[in-house]
Structure 1
Amino acid sequence: MSFLEEICLQADIDYKECMMRLGNNEMLVKRFLKKFLEDRSYEELEKAWQAQDVDGVVRHAHTLKGVSANLGMKKLTAACDGLVKAGRQGGLDKNCYQEVGVQYRKICDSVAEL
């Protein structure tokens, strides 16, 4: 198992899916995972949540959902999807928000080792 596979396993990232989406190029996968750490969607989501801005939560959760889906981050994608669905129904789902935070930190902590 490669170091990248170990990082993906630790972060609950679907290594095979991520590799497939990025042309089976490990260097490209590493580059995109490192860029994920620079993405500000989660930070903006936190701000929107604190302000109880439902539209902002939906917008930033949807962005984070797309980014995470493209990188095989299935648990983060699912949690973001829950936030988006709740927001589109006019509410905020605290459990989904907390799960987004747990998954996001888990991924960032693991990917930071690359």
Structure 2
Amino acid sequence: MKLEECYASFGGNYEDVQARLRSDVLIKKFVLKFLSDPTFASLCASLDSKNYEEAFRAAHTLKGIAQNLSFKRLGESSSSLTEFLRGKADGQIDASQCSSLFGIVKEDYDAVVEAIQMLS
């Protein structure tokens, strides 16, 4: 799979990242580094332990990474989760809604990872 096809498969914006980074070699370098980024694992662990402050930080970081790499769908879903978690104390979290928002982030994250793993 080529880089442009990879972006199309997970709802990314290849033209946007290309305009920003200007080199397919550089884009591919950062896209491949995404696979080893610990942010998603941190988000999962934080939500599992109900540490919503840390989950907010991880969701916010994931949003930034996704936006910088123009992973459009992942950026949007992680942004929704970030805003849901922003400034809320543990007792203010609707666990069902949080789980639903995280489910979308996970689907988008998995789609990105799967596509990156098929890059040639």
Which deviations, in whole Å up to 9, do the C-alpha atoms of 1:1-20 show, x marking residues without a partner?
x8211111112111001111
Q: Which runs of 5+ in 1 are unaligned?
A: none
Question: Structure 1: which 4+ aligned runs deviate by more than 2 Å?
Answer: none
Which whole-Å CA distance do the structure 2 matches of 1:84 and 1:4 have between them? 28
TM-score after normalising by structure 2: 0.88
- Cα deviation for residue 84 of structure 1 reads 1.2
The Cα RMSD (Å) is: 1.3
- Mean Cα displacement is larger for which, 39-48 or 86-95? 86-95
Match of 2:82 in 1: 84
Equivalent residue pairs, number: 112
Q: Which runs of 5+ in 2 are unaligned?
A: none
Which deviations, in whole Å up to 9, do the C-alpha atoms of 1:48-102 show, x marking residues without a partner?
0101111011000000000000011111111111111111142252221001100
- Cα deviation for residue 112 of structure 1 reads 0.9
- Is 1:106 the counterpart of 2:111 in the alignment? yes
Matched residue type, 1:60:
A
Q: In percent, how many aligned pairs have the same letter?
A: 27
TM-score after normalising by structure 1: 0.92
**2:35 counterpart SS class:** helix
